[in-house]
Amino acid sequence: MKFWRTPLDLQDIHVSKGMVLILEDRCKGCGYCIAFCPRDVLHESTRFNAKGYHPPEVKNPDACVNCHYCEIICPDLAIFSVEIPPHPVNAGPSEDNGSTGS
Amino acid sequence: MKPAVLTGEHFMTGDVACAEGALAAGCRFFAGYPITPATEIAEHMSHRLPDVGGTYIQMEDEIAAMAAVLGASCAGVKSMTATSGPGFSLMMENIGLGVCTETPCVVVNVQRAGPSTGLPTLGAQGDMMQARWGSHGHYEIIALAPASPQDIFYQTITAFNLSEKYRVPVLIMSDEVVGHLSERVVIPEPTAIRTFSRRRPKGRKDRFKPFCPGPDGVAPMADAGDGYRVHVTGLTHDERGYPVMTADCHAEMIARITGKIRRNLADIIRTESYRLDDADVAIVSYGVSSRSSMAAVDEARQEGIKVGLLRLITVWPFAEEAVAHLSRTVRALFTVEINLGQVHLEVERCAKGRVPCHLVGHAGGTVIAPERIVQAIKDHL
Amino acid sequence: MKKAKASPSHPLDALVRTERIPHIWCPGCGIGTAFSACLMALHTSGLDLDKTVMVSGIGCSGRAAGYTRLDSYHTTHGRAIPFATGMKLAKPELQVIVFSGDGDLFAIGGNHIIHAARRNIDLTVLCVNNLNYGMTGGQVAATTPTLAKTTTTPRGNPEQPFNLPLLVYAAGATYVARWTILHTRDLTQSVQEALHHKGFAFIEVLAPCPTGYGRRNKERPLDTLKLYQERTLIKNGANPAEAFLDFERGVVLGKFVEEQRPTCIEMYDRTCRLPDSAAG
């Protein structure tokens, strides 16, 4: 007897996708967003901002799931993420998957 | 339940008359801390305020009391506290915050003899220079000196009006004798009492600059919660209220907070003359000492010496012109005060050496007897 | 998916005096994170922000009021709480938040915080605890751990620090929590709860001070955050007596206390006002 199964709606589970936006001139280069990003989206840039700090830059944009952690750990209101709307093709038709399951 | 304005004839102490004056002026918040000889003001406010829609709170110390008064005033409510020497010392820093943030409020100092704990139950006028310069930095402040319960009733109303008009803490420099003296006090009908409230801003809330003065040198003041989203700080600030750490901005701010007082001296300074018209000798005095001085004037005149009295109702800003004028018309000036020479220094400054200036004073603990004043005049003439 | 070229607007910018940003806080300083958690909680609280006031004292954390686009009052050192008390009593419909530091609230202002807690005055108090006096360059505070080095304890702090949650709880606070800036989601949620709590709500926020404390105790900002990650334990409902701040033994975080008790204003109205005097 199988106690597990592949979810029937696997292709419909929506993992949100995010885009990171950086207000470079507010950044003081503490590196918190880089160190604590759970998806390793960011790294330190080699550029200097107006204050002489290295702001983060996005190295792995596709990995961002819009968790906002960089936004809320940032002490300088210098970074935030926004959700990228799911592509219309991927939007599954079935709103009622719950009723068709086990 | 008693009304806010206790119209009628009463027999009350100066402390109670002060509290009644505050209520008549529209004061609806009092934060205090017990201290002799000012406690009766707090006690009276604690049972009167809740019945007229106000709030009384006894704070944990005088520092907190002064801070709470400023907070309440920023919320738009006319507010006051009352204390004596040691408490007045503790309030100094926040009185400075009130000056810097231009927050109206009234602080009563029922003076007792200091320094330190001194003579808690006995009067003095030793805090006059502290009233002028007690908080750090250069500023202007208004201080009034009442001479009787009836006088303090009206002066407390004046104090609130000046405070609201010029957005500055106003000090009422009472003393133990006036505070504890019971006399007849007549309280008029509410309609006969003129009260003034701070100017509130009009127009677009997002463009409001909270420290941009009007033509009278005073900026309109928004209450917390009115939607203007003001920032108020004790740091040197610009017209937006934002800190700016430069000498230029500081000069501008100090010019603003001193200028609004200096440019309106005629409106702020109140004095009273008694038999000065033909006087050869003038006494300058204030508060309870002006009562001794008045008696001394009559006594001296009975002995043939033409003495008159200039009574300072407003002690700060100082009545420079009135004293300078006197120094041109009399042969000698006598300052009568219960300290060893504080307002006396101002009298000397304004007389500019034109006439001899003498002090009749002592360290505190009792009023100055009229005979002593007459004797001093005789000794020096 | 690249960085936007035109300057985009941060989601909290409406609550910030953006013309004053960047703020004065050092790189890695945790005050900014605590500040933004507080703003996020306000942003999502549903409160009327025109009736919400922030009061600060003096010190690095005390600068928060100056960056908030609310009615905001930057008062004297230690006196934010009595100022806020007067404001709340005079105009009870205001929602009053005190945002200040450990030195301001517990050393120079220590007397005020215990009395505010005792009265259960309806304030939300956020105390950023960075274990030292940052603004003046890193002197010992009432919260500095024993033996820690500061500019005024060059051989180590001989004194014991306060346990802040225990202190305010003992004094009568009815909401007590502690988080670190790393636990910023919990912190934000806690601020929201505190804003809606009736009575004296206190939240301690542990935050690194890399320039003052960190530099002299060999803690880089990321080291401090690692401590917050590895040496803390979330234990809601924990006895505040267990909340002693010692990273060697581990630091307890969480919501320790949430109780109901009539507030200062409720008790005043009930006790001091005659029934028909409300109209004034």
Cross-chain Cβ contact A75/C13 below 8 Å: no
State the nearest Cα–Cα gap between A8 and chain C, in angstroms. Answer: 31
The candidate with the shortest Cα–Cα distance to C209, out of C107, C102, C124, C104, is: C102
With a CB-CB cutoff of 8 Å, which residues 29-58 of chain B face chain C?
29, 31, 50-57
Contacts of C275 in chain B (CB under 8 A): none
Cross-chain Cβ contact A74/C36 below 8 Å: yes
Q: State the average pLDDT over residues C4-19.
A: 85
Per-residue burial over B36-46, b = 16 or more CB atoms within 10 Å of its CB, e = otherwise: bbbbbbbbbbb
Contacts of C55 in chain B (CB under 8 A): 71
pLDDT value of residue A95: 44
Cross-chain Cβ contact B225/C73 below 8 Å: no
Please indicate if any CB of chain C lies within 8 Å of the CB of B107. Answer: no
Q: Quick check: C3 pLDDT over 60? A: no
- Could you tell me the sign of the dihedral formed by the alpha carbons of B258, B259, B261, B265, in that order? positive
The candidate with the shortest Cα–Cα distance to C176, out of C241, C85, C103, is: C241
Contacts of C4 in chain A (CB under 8 A): 21
Q: State the average pLDDT over residues C11-19.
A: 96
Whole-complex ipTM: 0.98
pLDDT value of residue A5: 74
Q: State the average pLDDT over residues A54-63.
A: 97
Structure tokens at C56: 């600060």
Q: How many CB atoms lie within 10 A of CB A62?
A: 10
Render pLDDT for C229-279 as a digit per residue (tens, 0 to 9).
Answer: 999 999 999 999 999 999 999 999 999 999 999 999 999 999 999 876 444
Q: Could you tell me if C66 and C75 are in contact, meaning their C-beta atoms sit under 8 angstroms apart? A: no
Q: State the average pLDDT over residues C45-60.
A: 98
Indicate the burial class of B156 (C-beta count within 10 angstroms; 0-12, 13-18, 19 or more).
buried
pLDDT value of residue C150: 98
Cross-chain Cβ contact C185/A77 below 8 Å: no
Helix (H) or strand (E) holding B265: helix B265-268
**Domain spanning A26-86: which CATH class is it, in words?**
alpha beta
State the nearest Cα–Cα gap between C186 and chain B, in angstroms. Answer: 28
In terms of residues, how long is chain C? 280
Q: Quick check: A99 pLDDT over 50? A: no
Q: Which of C53, C111, C112 sits opposite B224 (nearest CB)?
A: C53
Render pLDDT for C80-98 as a digit per residue (tens, 0 to 9).
Answer: 999 999 999 999 999 999 9
Q: Quick check: C5 pLDDT over 90? A: no
Render pLDDT for A74-86 as a digit per residue (tens, 0 to 9).
Answer: 999 999 999 998 7
Touching, B vs C (3+ Cβ pairs under 8 A): yes
Top pLDDT among A88 and B379 is at B379
- The structural domains of chain C, ordered by start, are 31-270 (3.40.50.970)
Q: How far apart are CA C243 and CA C245, in angstroms?
A: 6
Q: How many CB atoms lie within 10 A of CB B248?
A: 8
Cross-chain Cβ contact B52/C280 below 8 Å: yes
Residue C122 CA to chain centroid, in angstroms?
15
Matching residue, tokens 């709103």? A95
User: What residues in chain B have per-residue pLDDT under 70?
Assistant: none
Please indicate if any CB of chain A lies within 8 Å of the CB of C127. Answer: no
Render pLDDT for C174-214 as a digit per residue (tens, 0 to 9).
Answer: 999 999 999 999 999 999 999 999 999 999 999 999 999 99
> What's the DSSP call for residue C212?
I
Top pLDDT among A25 and A93 is at A25
Q: Which of C10, C12, C225 sits opposite A32 (nearest CB)?
A: C225
Contacts of C7 in chain A (CB under 8 A): 23
pLDDT value of residue B238: 97
Render pLDDT for C116-173 as a digit per residue (tens, 0 to 9).
Answer: 999 999 999 999 999 999 999 999 999 999 999 999 999 999 999 999 999 999 999 9
Contacts of A53 in chain C (CB under 8 A): 27
Share the mean pLDDT of chain C.
95
pLDDT band of residue A4 (cuts 50, 70, 90) is low
Contacts of C272 in chain B (CB under 8 A): 50, 56
Asked: is B272-380 a CATH 3.40.50.920 domain? The reply is yes
Render pLDDT for C213-230 as a digit per residue (tens, 0 to 9).
Answer: 999 999 999 999 999 999
Cross-chain Cβ contact B70/C83 below 8 Å: yes
pLDDT band of residue C1 (cuts 50, 70, 90) is very low
pLDDT band of residue A93 (cuts 50, 70, 90) is very low
Cross-chain Cβ contact C1/A58 below 8 Å: yes
Check for a shared fold between B8-192 and B272-380: yes
Please indicate if any CB of chain C lies within 8 Å of the CB of A58. Answer: yes
Asked: is B8-192 a CATH 3.40.190.10 domain? The reply is no
Q: Quick check: A97 pLDDT over 60? A: no
pLDDT value of residue C8: 81
Domain positions in chain B:
8-192, 272-380
Q: Could you tell me if B33 and B83 are in contact, meaning their C-beta atoms sit under 8 angstroms apart? A: yes
For C235-278, where are the E strands, in sequence order? Answer: 251-258
Q: How far apart are CA B165 and CA A98, in angstroms?
A: 69
Q: Which of A32, A77, A84 sits opposite C21 (nearest CB)?
A: A77
Q: How far apart are CA C256 and CA C15, in angstroms?
A: 29
With a CB-CB cutoff of 8 Å, which residues 66-95 of chain B face chain C?
67-77, 79, 93-94
The candidate with the shortest Cα–Cα distance to C143, out of C61, C229, C72, is: C61
Q: What DSSP string describes B7-32?
A: -EEEEEEHHHHHHHHHHHHT--EEEE
Contacts of C36 in chain A (CB under 8 A): 72, 74-75, 77
